[in-house]
Amino acid sequence: MNILPPEKKPFYKKIIVVVSILIPVVVGVLFRIRIPGNLDFLPPIYAGFNALTAICLIGALLSVRNQRIVLHRKLIRFSLLLSILFLGCYVAYHLTSDPTYFGDINNDGVLSDQERINAGTLRIVYYLLLVSHILLSMAVIPMVLLAYLEAWSGNFDRHKQLVRFAFPVWLYVAVTGVIVYLMIAPYYA
């Protein structure tokens, strides 16, 4: 692996800050826009990206523990690619689709009292998972990118410190992305 020259590190830190702010802001803005199209096939695909990300992250952890550093790097880079693909598909789907509400059996965009009763406490579980997934997906962006930057810079002690926080959060986001999809899928129109 080529080590990043120390003088370039501040530049990449600034890029990480900008990206970490821009992604949530842009995604939030794009959620207010609807364009014509039908991308209803995307949710299981981007849930699959999350599942593969979780598998690759576990593989990356096991590979680094077994000192298979080249494999570790490849799995982390592939996890980053999968996360980018997830984000692209997720945004594309939500640009072309109205929101889906947990428990909305008739897909009219309104939860009747009966639909709320039918959904029960599982609806609360769903929204707790969804909210934690969304909030942590925003927080994980700078954590992962900074951990990657430290490894690229050859500062493996700092990399390990950051990964202690970044890894479980990234894994949680990937796993809950799959769970949230499986919970909401029955309510897609």
Give CA 66 to chain center in angstroms: 26
45-48: long-range contacts (C-beta < 8 A, 24 or more apart)? 45/89, 46/85, 46/86, 46/89, 46/90, 46/93, 46/177, 46/181, 47/177, 47/178, 47/181, 47/182
The domain spans of the chain are: 38-187
Q: How far apart are CA 1 and CA 74, in angstroms?
A: 11
pTM exceeding 0.75? yes
Neighbours of 153 (CB within 10 A): 17
DSSP codes joined into one string, 96-111: HS----TT-TT-SS--
- What tens-digit pLDDT sequence spans the chain (189 residues)? 678 888 899 999 999 999 999 999 999 998 889 999 999 999 999 999 999 999 999 999 999 999 999 999 999 999 999 999 999 999 999 999 988 999 999 989 899 999 999 999 999 999 999 999 999 999 999 999 999 999 999 999 999 999 999 999 999 999 999 999 999 999 987
Best CA proximity match to 61, nearest among 139, 142, 174: 174
